[in-house]
């Protein structure tokens, strides 16, 4: 897919659909903060608040993707800070872009056409989405704080680090977060052979998508320090169970 085709696809998709993608898919979609693609996504926000929360959500998903793929720390692009400032002061993100249907000046509840959002259902949907994004932001801040403590040699107890694992597993479980949580709870603290048994059983029950490669599962479990063995051991264990 060419860059223009990808941009066209993004413009046709709803913001809710894009924000529903798994972190690694958003990372691939925006090619690590490709400015014009990210701008197209942010401009889908119908209010100042929704645009600001979209930026926060993109930051969160990129942080999770970097964590999973073991990318090193990378600062956010300068244009994020500029956009946030412009939005807060009621200005368009890019005043030179005349094609983007946004207002030069906006109130807190103005949409692209210049009309206020007075539909109760629409307001409720936007408020619910804002609450979701605020919860995601709080979750990420907690994860980052725990990561800082770990880097200082302070052990963090509890399940505060589970969300990124659940999100990645759910992507392989038809998007079902509850199944992902059940799998995580079942394999936590188990030895590698038992984990292989559990994964095989879940695959047999079709709770893990048949399109899922063993490598994808191993990468998540190994990154989360749940399965300690190498990828070859994981593949062999599942293959032997298949042959029984």
The whole-model pTM stands at 0.41
Contacts of 208 (CB under 8 A, 6+ apart): 172, 173, 199, 202, 217
Domain segments of the chain: what residues?
3-148, 162-243
- CA distances (Å), 51 to each of 78, 98, 188, 213, in order? 17, 18, 38, 36
Percent of the chain scored above 90 by pLDDT?
Answer: 15
pLDDT at 244 over 90: no
**Scanning the structure block, which residue is given the tokens 């210049």?**
114
80 phi-psi bin (left φ>0, alpha ψ -120 to 50, beta other): alpha
Measured over all CA atoms, what is the biggest interatomic distance in the chain, rounded to whole angstroms?
67
Q: In sequence order, which ranges of 162-213 are alpha helices (DSSP H)?
A: 162-172, 177-187, 192-204
Percent of the chain scored above 70 by pLDDT?
Answer: 73
Q: What is the pLDDT of residue 105?
A: 35
pLDDT band at 196 (very low <50, low <70, confident <90, very high): very high
Q: What is the pLDDT of residue 197?
A: 93
pLDDT band at 186 (very low <50, low <70, confident <90, very high): very high
Q: For residues 154 and 147, what is the distance between their CA atoms, to the nearest angstrom?
A: 9
């Amino acid at each position: 897919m060419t860059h223009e085709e990808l941009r066209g696809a993004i413009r046709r998709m709803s913001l809710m659909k894009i924000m529903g993608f798994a972190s690694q898919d958003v990372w691939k979609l925006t090619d690590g903060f490709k400015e014009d693609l990210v701008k197209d996504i942010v401009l889908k926000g119908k209010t100042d608040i929704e645009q600001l929360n979209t930026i926060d959500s993109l930051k969160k998903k990129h942080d999770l993707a970097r964590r999973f793929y073991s990318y090193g720390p990378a600062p956010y692009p300068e244009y994020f800070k500029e956009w946030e400032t412009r939005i807060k002061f009621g200005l368009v993100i890019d005043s030179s872009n005349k094609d983007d249907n946004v207002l030069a000046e906006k109130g807190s509840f103005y949409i692209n056409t210049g009309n206020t959002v007075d539909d109760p259902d629409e307001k409720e949907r936007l408020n619910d989405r804002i609450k979701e994004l605020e919860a995601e932001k709080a979750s990420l801040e907690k994860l980052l704080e725990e990561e800082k403590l770990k880097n200082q040699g302070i052990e963090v107890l509890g399940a505060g680090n589970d969300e990124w694992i659940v999100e990645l597993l759910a992507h392989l479980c038809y998007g079902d977060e509850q199944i992902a949580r059940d799998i995580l709870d079942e394999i936590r603290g188990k030895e590698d052979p038992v984990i292989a048994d559990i994964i095989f059983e879940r695959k047999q029950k079709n709770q893990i998508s048949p399109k899922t490669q063993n490598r994808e599962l191993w990468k998540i479990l190994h990154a989360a320090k749940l399965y300690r063995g190498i990828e070859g051991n994981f593949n062999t264990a599942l293959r032997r169970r298949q042959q029984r």
